[in-house]
Amino acid sequence: MGKIISLLNHKGGVGKTTSVINIGAGMVELGLKVLLIDLDPQANLTLSLGVPRQKYSIYEAIKGECELVPFTVRERFDIVPSTLDLSGAEMELVNEAGREYILRELFEPVIEDYDFIIIDCPPSLGLLTLNALTCSDYVYIPLQTEFLALQGLTKIKQVIDKVKFRLNKKLEIGGVIATMYDARKVLNRDVVQTIHKYFGEKVFKTLIRDNVALAEAPAQRCDIFAYNSKSNGAQDYLALCKEILERVEVEA
């Protein structure tokens, strides 16, 4: 049965989407089958992988108009795309009974088909994010190794705790990913230390370095392994995937 992972941080631009794409692609490199879910109305994940406009996106599925319709990026690598329409979903579902469970229900028929389902959350803590947390085994928090990295984290922890208590007992913070790390910068090193103090063992040992190839790949509509498999970005995300697999196995 596939594991469901949400990448969450309500702070914008910390590396959620980049991590979803490249953890996903890294797992595919390791021979696994992966489904990515673009749950962000900005549709950055969809655009970054060059998915052409589809008849059915996550929006129609969430509205109950269709089942999940994955688009195949390449062998063993699927994505359910998003569109800007999704920005209306939170309002449109406000009176829907069981509205936090919509995504969980949508995953039921496909969960056996994948090793990992990885969800790209929007930079907010609204209904879409609640849906992601309600169906996830793990939430991973990417943190940019810059000033204010930890600001607002109390709020994220509160939301996770509430979801765990009320909606999804199995939910765990599965890991914290330090992103855009530059070892030459004292500030970056200091922030990594602070992150370790706050999250302890949860922090992945792999640091995702600041690497221009990671920013260039989306412009070529591809993941880092397709763009430049020798880049630091590819090495880091592959190392992170191996670490994730170890953790998931230990916990199983």
Query: Which residues make up the interface to ligand ATP (CB under 6 A)?
Result: 12-18, 40, 42, 44, 123, 179-180, 208, 210-211, 214-215, 218
DSSP 43-110: -HHHHHTTPPP-SS-HHHHHTTSS---PEEEETTEEEE---GGGGGHHHHTTT-TTGGGHHHHHHTTT
| Residue 221 C-beta: closest distance to ligand ATP, Å | 13
Say whether residue 17 binds Mg ion (CB under 5 A). yes
* Cβ-based nearer residue to ligand ATP, 113 or 220: 220
Interface with Mg ion, residue 48, by CB under 5 A: no
Tell me if 22 contacts Mg ion by CB under 5 A: no
CA distance 70 to 67: 9
Q: Minimal distance in Å, beta carbon 129 to ligand ATP?
A: 11
**Which is nearer to Mg ion, 22 or 44 (by Cβ)?**
44
Name which of Mg ion, ligand ATP, none residue 208 binds, using a CB cut-off of 5 to 8 Å depending on partner kind.
ligand ATP
Judged by beta carbon distances under 5 to 8 A according to partner kind, the member of Mg ion, ligand ATP, none in contact with residue 15 is ligand ATP
How buried is residue 82: exposed, middle or buried, by Cβ count under 10 Å (0-12/13-18/19+)? Answer: buried
User: How near is the Cβ of 9 to ligand ATP at its closest, in Å?
Assistant: 6
**Shortest Å distance, C-beta 41 to Mg ion:** 10
**Could you tell me the CA-to-CA distances from 151 to 144, 147, 156, 191 in Å, in that order?**
11, 9, 10, 12
Q: Which of 3, 10, 16, 104 binds Mg ion (CB under 5 A)?
A: 16
Closer residue to Mg ion, CB minimum distance, 18 or 169? 18
- The rounded distance, in Å, linking the Cα atoms of 219 and 207 is 23
Q: In the set 9, 22, 44, 168, which binds Mg ion (CB under 5 A)?
A: 44
* Residue 180 CB, nearest approach to ligand ATP (Å): 4
Q: Cα dist. 222→24, 50, 73, 74, 226 in Å?
A: 12, 7, 9, 11, 6
Percentages helix, strand, coil for the chain (3-state, rounded to 5) are 45, 15, 35
Residues binding Mg ion (CB under 5 A): 16-17, 44
